[in-house]
Chains A and B, each alone.
Chain A
Amino acid sequence: MSSQQTASSAALGKADSVPQDSYISNEYGIKSWLLTLDHKRIAILYLISMTAFFFLGGAFAVAIRLELLTPHGDLMEAETYNKFFTQHGMVMVFFFLLPSIPAVFGNFLLPLMLGAKDLAFPRLNLLSWYIFMIGGILALYAIITGGVDTGWTFYTPYSSTYANSQVMVAGIALFITGFSSILTGLNFLVTIHRMRAPGLTWFRLPLFVWAHYATSVIMLLGTPVLAITILMLALERGFGMGFFDPKLGGDPILFQHLFWFYSHPAVYIMILPAMGVISEVISCFARKRVFGYHFIAFSSMAIAVLGFLVWGHHLFVSGQSAYAGMVFSFLSMVVAIPSAVKVFNWSATLFKGSISLQTPMLYCLGFIGLFTIGGLTGLFLATLSVDVHLHDTYFVVAHFHYVMVGGVVMAYMAAIHFWWPKITGRMYPEMAARFSAIVIFIGFNLTFFPQFLLGYLGMPRRYHVYPDEFQVLNVFSTAGASILGIGYLIPMVYFVWSLWWGKPASSNPWQAKGLEWTIASPPSPHNFEQIPVVTEEAYAYASDAQFVSAFDTDDQAKQSSHV
């Protein structure tokens, strides 16, 4: 018991100041974590495992960028390169980006924001983590024992007939992981419907909750289609059954239809929770109610629905009918509207706000700029004729990295800084955090902006060699990637550091609104001693607040009372 106790307290930075009844300190030992039903502890389990996957995916990215430093295949052969970009995409998409904000922050915060003691189905919640881990370990096994080289999209007939890599194992891994996503979505959906505190009406919900509601809808409606598609791929590859095989009259493009029916909305599984984070952070650090609350809430739902009607924009040059292409192209333009509504509303929230540039806010502003670039270049690609030129070039790579990294990861970083005091009871060092935020922003743009140019000039994606004329821009990109990598390592250092030596956090270091800030940092196991009664709207910030000095980040901690 005592050895376990030191192990777990070392891992979690238990300190004297942590109240003895917090969710971290109420039980010790590895078993108390692996068998926990507490949504907050499960969020930590996700945080740790997903951080590992993030750095694994990052390692593949480093190798890819190193190879692309020169026009020739100096570092690896074509086959190895194929495996590296496949595994980079697979790990990042399925084991980091898709679960990232929902599994960590959704899990931790939804019950707190709703005034509930837990999610509706705590056992199911733990089960989702185990399913996630089984899928993850299976994916690792596939990577170690030969790797996968199909691209993360697993297009048939290459994946079903010709590829000699571990397609089967990787497919099963994704199939399993999908159920983790489904169960999380199911849990969130029911929780938001049924576990709201008295007085917490739909239009008093924080926009983070709205975003997660919309996300859950997509998880439930989209993920099963991916599951059955992978299953059919496995049956075709493993048993020679015919679903997409052209030799039997099957149509490989149907695989692409089913795959993208899920995988385009999956982009919104990633970005919607990110947008929810931005709404929370921006209103706190502008000290204003989010401008156009209803519009942001409904735009989340609009994205969830419209996002299902646009998947064919990935098939413009695959042999899909041009008429279907026109419809999908038009609908892809339409789905940009609700995203734009959000960006306009966030900008309007800043207008005449009392803005302070704490680290979460820096990431937020980064998000707005980069997501806008990512979104607008998405419109280029959704334009039928332009896509003929840009399809499968680095323009596409740059576009979705602006959305995925510039959008989702920026928001993830904003979230982890914003709620770190609540999760751990410790403040992170503000100056180091600001510094790394700027490093990440610079590194990111240096990495991916040149790729827009490369793509426009015609450099195709997924090749390990390229013509000499593209080298200068590729050197820029690789240099940026090095800076970006360092930028991501700095937070790892200071977050771990802060677990021991960070300043103890008050219950509400940002003077933020929202139920999660009314309870202790870190919260007690059952969150609320008494179920709160909500009487006001979200983001009830006083508009005239001159409060910036009240942040207890750099000045002395003021031990505000735990309400």
Chain B
Amino acid sequence: MSHNISSLGYYLRVFATLLILTAATVGAAFIDFGAFSTPIAMTIAMTKGLLVVLFFMHVWHSKKLTWLFAAAGFLWLVILIGMTFGDIVSRGWQGQPAL
């Protein structure tokens, strides 16, 4: 098996970044950003998730197929949440009975 072997420092750097982002998300939670607080929290979480996927799970050095699989999982989640949300949000628009 030919694999790209990373160094110890590489993993430690990813780990350190994840810790900093954890501190950032906790800190941000205690500052009132109004409507932006959830997007900020989610952006940080996405970044952290992406770091784990790309570097701990080695997707960065993987074949296109692995990228495709990882992306498909995310995309389908967006479909599930997005289209269900579409129903909830648009209830009660323009003369429909609000439920």
**Beta-carbon contact of B90 and A319 below 8 Å:** no
Chain A's interface: helix, strand, loop or mixed, by majority? Answer: helix
- Binary flags per residue of A316-329, CB closer than 8 Å to B gives 1, else 0: 00011111100100
Q: State in angstroms the CA–CA spacing of A261 and B80 once bound together.
A: 7
Given contacts A193-B65, A221-B72, are A320 and B87 in contact (CB under 8 A)? Answer: yes
A108 within 8 A of B: no
**Beta-carbon contact of B90 and A321 below 8 Å:** yes
**Beta-carbon contact of B80 and A321 below 8 Å:** no
Residues of A within 8 A of B (CB-CB), count:
21
**Beta-carbon contact of B72 and A321 below 8 Å:** no
B84 within 8 A of A: yes
Shortest Cβ distance from B98 into A: residue: A321
**Beta-carbon contact of B93 and A323 below 8 Å:** yes
Shortest Cβ distance from A325 into B: residue: B87
Chain B's interface: helix, strand, loop or mixed, by majority? Answer: helix
Given contacts A312-B87, A327-B86, are A321 and B79 in contact (CB under 8 A)? Answer: no
Which residues does chain B contribute within 8 Å of A323, judged by CB atoms?
86, 90, 93, 96
Q: State in angstroms the CA–CA spacing of A338 and B92 once bound together.
A: 34
- Binary flags per residue of A298-318, CB closer than 8 Å to B gives 1, else 0: 000000000011011001000
**Beta-carbon contact of A312 and B83 below 8 Å:** yes
Which residues does chain B contribute within 8 Å of A322, judged by CB atoms?
90, 96
- A309 CB contact (under 8 Å) in B65, B83, B87, B93: B83
A486 within 8 A of B: no
Q: State in angstroms the CA–CA spacing of A522 and B47 once bound together.
A: 54
Which residues does chain B contribute within 8 Å of A225, judged by CB atoms?
80
A254 within 8 A of B: yes
Question: Looking at chain B, what size class is its interface with the partner chain?
Answer: 10 to 19
CB distance from B49 to the nearest CB of A (A): 18
Which residues does chain A contribute within 8 Å of B92, judged by CB atoms?
321
A238-278 contacts to B (CB < 8 Å): 251, 253-254, 257-258, 261
CB distance from A253 to the nearest CB of B (A): 8
B99 within 8 A of A: yes
Which residues does chain B contribute within 8 Å of A254, judged by CB atoms?
84
Which residues does chain B contribute within 8 Å of A253, judged by CB atoms?
87, 99
B73-99 contacts to A (CB < 8 Å): 76, 79-80, 83-84, 86-93, 96, 99
CB distance from B71 to the nearest CB of A (A): 12
Q: State in angstroms the CA–CA spacing of A257 and B93 once bound together.
A: 20
27 A–B contacts, CB within 8 A, in A order:
A221-B72, A253-B87, A254-B84, A257-B84, A257-B87, A258-B84, A261-B84, A308-B79, A309-B79, A309-B83, A311-B83, A312-B83, A319-B99, A320-B91, A321-B86, A321-B87, A321-B88, A321-B90, A321-B92, A321-B93, A322-B90, A322-B96, A323-B90, A323-B93, A323-B96, A324-B86, A324-B90
Q: Top 6 closest A-B pairs, CB basis?
A: A324-B87, A323-B90, A321-B90, A321-B91, A257-B84, A221-B76
Where the two chains meet, the residues of A that have a C-beta atom closer than 8 Å to any C-beta of B are: 193, 221, 225, 251, 253-254, 257-258, 261, 308-309, 311-312, 315, 319-324, 327
